Chain A
Amino acid sequence: MPRRFGMVLLLLIGVLPLLSCGGKSAPDSLRFGLASAPVTLDPRFATDATSARINRLLYRQLVEFDAAQQPIAGLAEWMRLAPLHYRFHLLNGEGRGFHDGGRLTARDVKATYDSLLDTKTASPHRGSLEMIASIAVIDEDTVDFHLSRPDVLFPGRLVIGILPAAAIAAGHTFNQAALGSGPYAFVAWPEPGRLQLRRVGDGQRLEFLQVRDPTVRILKLQRGELDMVQNDLPPEMIRYAEARPELRVQRGRGSNFAYLGFNMDDPLVGQHAVREAIAHALDRQAIIHYVLGDAARPASALLPPEHWAGNPALPLLAYDPARARTLLAEAGYGEGKRPRIEYKTSSDAFRLRLATIIQQQLGEVGIDVELSSYDWGTFYGDIKAGRFQMFSLAWVGVKTPDIFHYALHSSQVPPIGANRGRFRSRAADELIEAAAGEEDPARQAAYYRQLQAVLLAELPYVPLWYEDQVFVARRTIAGYTPAVDGNYDGLAVVRRTAE
């Protein structure tokens, strides 16, 4: 019997491991570690941050953004011919050649946006572009967008990578084999966590490797199995990397906005005094220093001060536990009657750590906090459905200020929009509407600044901080600059230098 048993075991142990192993990296490849692999290489469907960032390398878009997040010419410059009519003229230069040799023309622009707007495509981006009534090709380099309603922020919405019309018509599977005109061309996707690209300019190979565990990501970097990683690192790993002679840590200002949200329909946190008490009970500087490793800056509003519609004049919420206690007392709470709040967060270990600290800080001013952590889907579902008192989340990659309409206008309570806190303010609504209808950019920015002052006073959310972009690389990697929104555009110029 042991012999028979041994035969079976040998079959299992000996043959199966020889079945296959993933492909090896090209020796000269630059290797970039990712916490999560891209889901799709089709920009019409990409909603996760990794896919969106990689797609920026593979495709070109009509419009880009400057440092103040003002839309600027990408593939094309534009003119507003009438309130409902925009003309885009494709510029000659980089990005006009697809990786298969074809030339990017106005027909490709029309085909891309037509396919995205087709309900059969079921693109998650259709909702943000539904004001497009029709698209007309004027000539090889010119395309007109006709709108169904005026939208002064319209150019900033044209950020979908342009696909070749012929490939769309042929049903090319862009999700698995990208075909664009970006600085990198698709080479292969041999396994889910390994994506291989080639830089068009100089043939430099680049490999994205998924390494979920942040500790393992840094250890791989240390051993030279990766060349660079960006973000998704706990502060202790950043400090560890800073202490390694073979690694270099680069920090850049970020715009991802973390906040504490409230359910304004709730009888407890719906009270302004309670929200203000919470705002003053939080020692954000201490959290940023000790927990975030100084890799963040405190926030007063959703848009950072350097944004064209941001408000640099807003004061920072002061850490003032005495004021918090006074506010609670004025609202009728005290040691005999401590307010009790359920705080929902995701089950991410780092978010949970932050929540525990916030729980402790609120406890010190007399607010009892009950933490409830859920898997992301359940947590997010609860937030959208209004099943919460308080939660923490972050707005990631915000570019255009119409986020205020989507997230805070009283008409945008889910499922219509993202006003998850059920915030209803006539003053805020009026400013949002005035800004949306304003043609002059300076006056529009002024409305948005005024709106952010109103929001800071009414506190439908407590602004926490903008998290920095942290890039860690081996010392031999040069030329990369972390972008404010965390994109990977720096890979277009990054290079490996001699040891």
Chain B
Amino acid sequence: MPVFIISRLLSAAVVLLGVSCLVFLLLHLVPGDPVEVMLGESAHAADREALRQALGLNQPLWVQLLHFLEGLLRLDLGTSLHSKRPITEMLWERIPATAELAAAALGVAVLIAFPLGVLAAVRKDSAWDYGAMGVSLLGVSMPNFWLGPLLILVFSVWLGWLPVSGRDELSSLVLPALTLGTALAAVLSRMVRASLLEVLHEDFVRTARAKGLPERVVVWHHALRNALLPVVTILGLQLGVLLGGAVVTEMVFSWPGLGELTIESIQRRDYPVVQACVLLISVTYVLVNTATDLLYAWLDPRVRLGTDK
């Protein structure tokens, strides 16, 4: 296991370095001038040049890249061109909201997907199966920009049960989590069904049944346990997506997360903030995938044994 962990962490570090360089270079290829963003259109050429020098933008690209990487090591991502605030501070402000929404959406997805997927698999080709998969199809077909306002209309405006938007109290988490979790639940339930159907035909399941174990134990204890591996992979990838900021849902529900910050910064051409957001999203993906690999090995010892050999 230690060799497995070290190899995964090393490869994650290499990927992170590559991603950091790529993000830096891409942002420098995009048309636009940070100096113009800061000084406006009416600034004099001399003032522009002075600021360019002060920011180090007149230095060769590789020198700027080295400064950027050096800053990263100190967790210094620079300052926003517009608000003049340290970017690290701006990110820290947003991360809890995004993590909170991602976790809640994941919870909603799992709570819906597992019973639905198991039901569809166990009652294959029955009305239950068609119903469950119909619900799943509906969930995956509804775009968040439509589902969100619909949920608001029903649960906030008509029934008055939940707040419309914002992040005031725990109840304000319900609707965005439902909106975001529904599509994920739809994907997951199909994955659970497919994976479980495959496992239910395995010999060890037949053996378990032959031993006279109750069907509930056979399905939930023996079959589902072995059907979880592909589901965990999907969950890991989806968690990466969610932590990267669910832009549409955050916009609809005025949820002050990373997705909202990314879009705002792109619209304002706040290049350093865009760079930091893209970098953070990439880092999140790499870390979540690494964590998924490690979780995979923890859940299924065969994975790490294969590596240790």
A124-B40 in contact (CB<8A) = yes
* Docked complex Cα distance between A146 and B256 (Å): 46
* Docked complex Cα distance between A469 and B269 (Å): 27
Contact residues in B for A222 (Cβ distance below 8 Å): 157
Known A-B contacts A1-B228, A40-B83; A20 and B47 likewise in contact (beta carbons under 8 Å) = no
Chain A: CB-nearest residue to B152: A219
* Docked complex Cα distance between A209 and B168 (Å): 11
Chain A: CB-nearest residue to B84: A175
Q: For chain B, which range describes its interface: under 10, 10 to 19, 20 to 34, or 35 or more residues?
A: 35 or more
Q: For chain A, which range describes its interface: under 10, 10 to 19, 20 to 34, or 35 or more residues?
A: 35 or more
B100-A17 in contact (CB<8A) = yes
Contact residues in A for B226 (Cβ distance below 8 Å): 1
A25 at the interface (CB under 8 A from B): yes
* Docked complex Cα distance between A285 and B221 (Å): 70
The segment from A413-421, A449-457, A460-468 found at the interface with B is A413-421
Q: Which residues of chain A (1-47) have a CB below 8 Å from chain B? A: 1-2, 4-5, 8-9, 12-13, 15-17, 19-25, 36, 39-40, 42, 45, 47
B156 at the interface (CB under 8 A from A): yes
Kindly provide the distance from the CB of B67 to the nearest chain A CB, expressed in whole angstroms: 19
Q: Which of B31, B100, B221, B268 contacts A19 (CB 8 A)?
A: B100
B170 at the interface (CB under 8 A from A): yes
The segment from A375-383, A427-435, A476-484 found at the interface with B is A375-383
A213-B149 in contact (CB<8A) = yes
Contact residues in B for A9 (Cβ distance below 8 Å): 106-107, 110
A342 at the interface (CB under 8 A from B): no
**0 or 1 for each of B94-111: is its CB under 8 Å from A? (1 = yes):** 101101101110110010
Known A-B contacts A22-B167, A191-B256, A192-B94; A417 and B106 likewise in contact (beta carbons under 8 Å) = no
Contact residues in A for B102 (Cβ distance below 8 Å): 16
Contact residues in A for B96 (Cβ distance below 8 Å): 19-20
Known A-B contacts A13-B103, A225-B163; A21 and B168 likewise in contact (beta carbons under 8 Å) = yes
The segment from A78-86, A125-133, A298-306, A350-358 found at the interface with B is A125-133
B206 at the interface (CB under 8 A from A): no
B164-A225 in contact (CB<8A) = yes
Q: Which residues of chain A (397-416) have a CB below 8 Å from chain B? A: 406, 414-415
A42-B103 in contact (CB<8A) = no
B93-A191 in contact (CB<8A) = yes
Q: Which residues of chain A (101-129) have a CB below 8 Å from chain B? A: 119-120, 122-128
Q: Which of B42, B84, B93, B269 contacts A377 (CB 8 A)?
A: B269
A215 at the interface (CB under 8 A from B): yes
Q: Which of B39, B42, B90, B252 contacts A216 (CB 8 A)?
A: B252
The segment from B6-14, B56-64, B126-134, B259-267 found at the interface with A is B259-267
B225 at the interface (CB under 8 A from A): yes
A40-B84 in contact (CB<8A) = yes
Chain A: CB-nearest residue to B255: A193
Contact residues in B for A25 (Cβ distance below 8 Å): 168
Q: Which of B107, B166, B264, B266 contacts A22 (CB 8 A)?
A: B166
Known A-B contacts A16-B99, A176-B85, A417-B41; A126 and B165 likewise in contact (beta carbons under 8 Å) = no
B169 at the interface (CB under 8 A from A): yes
Chain A: CB-nearest residue to B263: A212
A21-B172 in contact (CB<8A) = yes
B251 at the interface (CB under 8 A from A): yes
* Docked complex Cα distance between A42 and B85 (Å): 12
Known A-B contacts A2-B224, A4-B299, A119-B50; A22 and B106 likewise in contact (beta carbons under 8 Å) = no
Known A-B contacts A19-B96, A20-B100, A21-B169; A127 and B44 likewise in contact (beta carbons under 8 Å) = yes
Known A-B contacts A42-B84, A119-B50, A216-B254; A377 and B104 likewise in contact (beta carbons under 8 Å) = no
Contact residues in B for A5 (Cβ distance below 8 Å): 228, 232, 299
B24 at the interface (CB under 8 A from A): no
**0 or 1 for each of B156-184: is its CB under 8 Å from A? (1 = yes):** 11001001111111101100000000000
* Docked complex Cα distance between A45 and B253 (Å): 29
B298 at the interface (CB under 8 A from A): yes
B280 at the interface (CB under 8 A from A): no
**0 or 1 for each of B14-48: is its CB under 8 Å from A? (1 = yes):** 00000000000000000110001011111111010
Q: Which of B103, B169, B256, B299 contacts A24 (CB 8 A)?
A: B169
A192-B256 in contact (CB<8A) = yes
* Docked complex Cα distance between A222 and B269 (Å): 34
A220-B256 in contact (CB<8A) = no
* Docked complex Cα distance between A36 and B83 (Å): 14
Binding site for A on B (CB under 8 A): 31-32, 36, 38-45, 47, 50-51, 54, 82-85, 90, 93-94, 96-97, 99-100, 102-104, 106-107, 110, 148-149, 152-153, 156-157, 160, 163-170, 172-173, 220-221, 224-226, 228, 232, 239, 251-254, 256, 260-261, 264, 266-269, 295, 298-300
Q: Beyond A223-B157, A377-B267: 5 further Cβ-contacts under 8 Å?
A: A47-B82, A225-B165, A225-B166, A406-B42, A415-B41
8 nearest A-B pairs in the assembled complex, by CB-CB distance = A127-B42, A13-B107, A124-B40, A16-B103, A22-B167, A1-B225, A377-B269, A220-B164
Chosen A-B contacts, 17 in total, with CB atoms closer than 8 Å, are A1-B228, A2-B228, A5-B228, A17-B104, A23-B168, A127-B41, A127-B42, A130-B44, A176-B85, A191-B167, A192-B256, A211-B165, A212-B252, A219-B164, A375-B267, A406-B42, A417-B41
